[in-house]
Amino acid sequence: MSSSPSQFFLVQSRVGVVVCLENANAISLFRHLGRALRAVDRSLPDVASDPQIAFLPNYGQAPRDWPAHGLSPGLLRLHLFERKDEGHPLWQRLKDVPGIVPAAVTTTKARLFNYISPRAIQETLGVAVEVSDRNDVPRLTAQALHAKRAPATWDSLGPELQATQVQNAERLLSEEVGPAITPEMLVERRAKSDVTGWLYYIKLNLPWQFFG
């Protein structure tokens, strides 16, 4: 079942920072990465449930998203770009904005999916997928799932059906594999430093610095 928008958007009256990512799958996966790391470091913010933290897709660029979810465009925001989007005009505009807390940061790996441990994919979806810092994890996952379920080869599928299966794989990775990620898996993928940095920037933007 797909996550509802209400899981990502919180009322303006309690929000201190808006984290802007590519889409709902990126938001869901980011929250799971943060949850896994906070399990061993309670000084980090709780991106899964802290009402001071809101999320927007489309890197926060869709004007209708802000008022539709009770958010003011004047709120502090942190843009987390995936490295594949380094050519994005908004990233180019924000990357050099001065400040103690950056307006935008980027992943060191190609996408957030590249922070997932292959062990989490195997344990959750039952397929073996190679995960590197640069490969297309959703596509490889879609191919592995297709090979497990159907006799037809991946190449025999049309481009539209391939794209649909890749989209389904992105959803599975964010919604089903994401909850299975552990702190140890973050270490395996050399993800701890990146995730800690993103969470620390979020923490610096929060008006109330209390974490239990």
Q: What is the pTM of this model?
A: 0.88
- Rounded CA-CA distance 103/107 in Å is 14
Residues (pLDDT < 70) of the chain are 1-13, 208-212
Q: Give the list of residues 6+ apart from residue 133 with CB closer than 8 angstroms, or none.
A: 108, 109, 110, 114
Exposed/middle/buried for 89, CB within 10 Å: 0-12, 13-18, 19+?
exposed
- Domains of the chain by range and CATH? 5-110+190-205 (3.40.50), 115-179 (no CATH)
φ, ψ for residue 106, nearest 5 deg? -135, 155
Q: Are 113 and 52 in contact (CB under 8 A)?
A: no
CA neighbor of 29 nearest in space, from 159, 201, 145, 189? 189
Query: pLDDT tens digits for 135-162?
Result: 999 999 999 999 999 888 999 999 999 9
Query: pLDDT tens digits for 45-78?
Result: 999 999 999 999 999 998 888 888 788 888 888 9
What distance lies between CA 148 and its chain's CA centroid?
A: 27
Q: Give the list of residues 6+ apart from residue 65 with CB closer than 8 angstroms, or none.
A: 9, 56, 57, 58, 71
